[in-house]
Structure 1
Amino acid sequence: MKSLLEVFFTSLGGAVVVYYGVKLLLVTKMLYPKMWFPLPKSFFSSMGEWAVVTGASEGIGREYAFALAEQGMNVVIMSRTKATLEQLAKDIGEATSRMVKVLVADFTEDKVFSDIEEQLKDLNIGVLVNNVGMLPSNIPKRFLEDTDLDQTITRVINCNVKTMAKMCKTLLPGMENRGKGVIINVSSGIACIPFPMYSLYAASKIFVERFSQGLQAEYKEKGMIIQAVTPFGVSTRMMGYQATDMVTLSPRDFVKSSLQYLRAGDRTYGSICHMFLGWLIRSIPRKILYADSVLNGLQEYVEKKQAKTRSSSTLSIA
């Protein structure tokens, strides 16, 4: 008869094999999203007539607006730049023949939501993309290095945290009543760990993830999909329009990829290369990642990179 110790180690070995077998299966599924997470052609339009995209004037938000219009939805596009929104509305209308509604809003301000609620109240909205986000500085900085820290804190919280929660509060009741709807909340890959030099931004983005995951648990059984999307490098203004490569994707390629993972869970990196990058960053020992030499090197690297692609600015809003 086997000893208790033999039974323990045999069971432990079996559990480890099962655990890593499941992990391998999950990775395999992420490699083939079209096979594992298929979406019918009419999926998005079946959610409702309209989609709402915040931070839609450029970059990732612009491409989400285009992609949803191409899927047969009318689109409400929102940001603070009226001229850019109007041009985008024209481009989407000409390319897809869908209706486009423009709403101008500066989400760093406190009082913008009453007008938004009024403008949206009569629309059958099936998809919400909370994309708007603010990076306090293009150059990574320590928290106290910000020259106007009080204002920065307020604007980051308003834009990255409050806006997402308020937009969900505005549109979630209609989705719940209809028993269907999609909410995509755009976070950031750097929220995968506490990230020095981007402390405030990364913390605001981890709120996006946890809030999304909590909402999905609350409303999944009521027919809704609520997902946090956490990209790393995407060639946008916020990233200094870096050249695209295997890791830095164009906004259009990233959005196309991320929509394939809509049924992959309450959190996704949106692309397989960003998933592996997240795994790599989480694997680096914190003592190495948080060393002063590494942090200073990061600051110098980004500073030089930004100098090559565009002039530095102290504030970026997507």
Structure 2
Amino acid sequence: MDLMELFLIALGAVVVVCYGVKLLLFSRMLFPKVWFPLSKSFFTSMGEWAVVTGASEGIGRAYAFELAKQGMNVVIMSRTKVTLDQVAKKIGDTTGQRVKVIVTDFMKDNVFSEIEDQLRDLNIGVLVNNVGSLPNFIPCKFLESADLDQAITNVINCNVKTMAKMCKIFLPGMEKRGKGVIVNISSGVASIPFPLYTLYAASKVFVERFSQGLQAEYKDKGIIIQTVAPFGVSTRLAGYQSTNIVTLSPDDFVKSSLQYLRAGDKTHGSVCHIVLGWLLQSIPLKVLYSELMLDSLQDYVKKKIAREALSSTFESGKKN
């Protein structure tokens, strides 16, 4: 056996081992309760209170409910007081936990000193940075965005600045106590440069890199910092799509994503979304960036929104 044969055999063995390790790591994602178990008292052991931004609806609301069910008191934040009060009452009635409402608009510049003052004396163990802004419901090119200057400001303030500022407020207390959890909500579209959602996807890349850097800095302090990057979840930003094996309800997605809290600094939050993430990164970018693909995406969303609007009108007519 000559040197070349030995080299090829060794190379083949290395490839087999590498793929075997990848397969083993992926198989762990199928059984998160086995590989990444959390005790019943895990969340309450982090602290007495959880803070959730963008908690009036969708994923944020689901996180607030689930953390309250886990025994935590919750602070819920959004800009609509009426909706927040309704959510607070339902959480209190359902779980018996205390709920504090803070009405704030994260698209504005100077809201954080007031938030810090209102929460200064609370033992915050969990922070969920969920609030986010999507420039346009219908995907479009950057220069075609309506009121582009305002859209840029809103996305940066809401998706980027708010997350960093909220971490700045609550990380010191977590570091001092040597424990805490920060969950930063990104998006599956941040997996690749995503045309027609360019501004939104780029802001979510910041969420991921910021979170991963923070986790590297503070992991030894006993703090878990994780990015959660969902694909299809039936929320207002996604046009309330019908739920199926790929598009999950906010409640189902949150319950699933929390099972992956110890699975690393980033997760897609569910088995089907993990597979979607792998598939998206496997498709050649030339295919994804083709005019046919981009036009098809625009048409699909337009038709989906039109169907939802028609369905809502029909339901409203039936009630009247």
TM surpasses 0.5:
yes
- Name the structure 2 match of 1:290: 289
C-alpha separation in 1, matches of 2:142 and 2:51: 33
C-alpha separation in 2, matches of 1:222 and 1:207: 23
Contact 2:136 2:146 in 1 (8 A): no
Deviation of the 1:310 alpha carbon: 2.9
Task: Note the aligned Cα RMSD (angstroms).
Answer: 0.9
* Length, aligned pairs only: 310
One-letter amino acid of the structure 1 residue matched with residue 284 of structure 2: P
TM-score normalized with structure 1 length: 0.96
Deviation of the 1:118 alpha carbon: 0.5
One-letter amino acid of the structure 2 residue matched with residue 69 of structure 1: A
Structure 2: unaligned runs, 5 residues or longer = 311-320
- Name the structure 2 match of 1:27: 26
- Name the structure 1 match of 2:149: 150
1:245 aligns with 2:244: yes
C-alpha separation in 2, matches of 1:283 and 1:109: 39
C-alpha separation in 2, matches of 1:310 and 1:80: 24
Deviation of the 1:10 alpha carbon: 2.2
C-alpha separation in 2, matches of 1:96 and 1:182: 21
- Name the structure 2 match of 1:57: 56
C-alpha separation in 1, matches of 2:2 and 2:222: 50
C-alpha separation in 1, matches of 2:99 and 2:146: 39
Deviation of the 1:40 alpha carbon: 0.2
Deviation of the 1:5 alpha carbon: 2.2
Residue by residue, what CA displacement relative to the aligned partner does 1:124-167 show, whole Å, maximum 9, x if unpaired? 00000000001111100000001311111011000000000000
Question: Relative CO higher for 1 or 2, CA cutoff 8 Å, sep ≥ 6?
Answer: 1
C-alpha separation in 1, matches of 2:4 and 2:79: 66
TM-score normalized with structure 2 length: 0.95
- Name the structure 2 match of 1:137: 136
Which of structure 1's runs of 4+ aligned residues deviate more than 4 A? none
Residue by residue, what CA displacement relative to the aligned partner does 1:164-210 show, whole Å, maximum 9, x if unpaired? 00000000000000000000000000100000000000000011011
- Name the structure 1 match of 2:317: none
**SS of the residue 2:75 aligns to:** strand
- Name the structure 1 match of 2:184: 185
Structure 1: unaligned runs, 5 residues or longer = 312-318
C-alpha separation in 2, matches of 1:8 and 1:163: 53
- Name the structure 1 match of 2:219: 220
Q: Identity over the aligned pairs, expressed in percent?
A: 72
C-alpha separation in 1, matches of 2:298 and 2:73: 42
- Name the structure 2 match of 1:205: 204
C-alpha separation in 1, matches of 2:68 and 2:79: 21
Contact 1:38 1:260 in 2 (8 A): yes
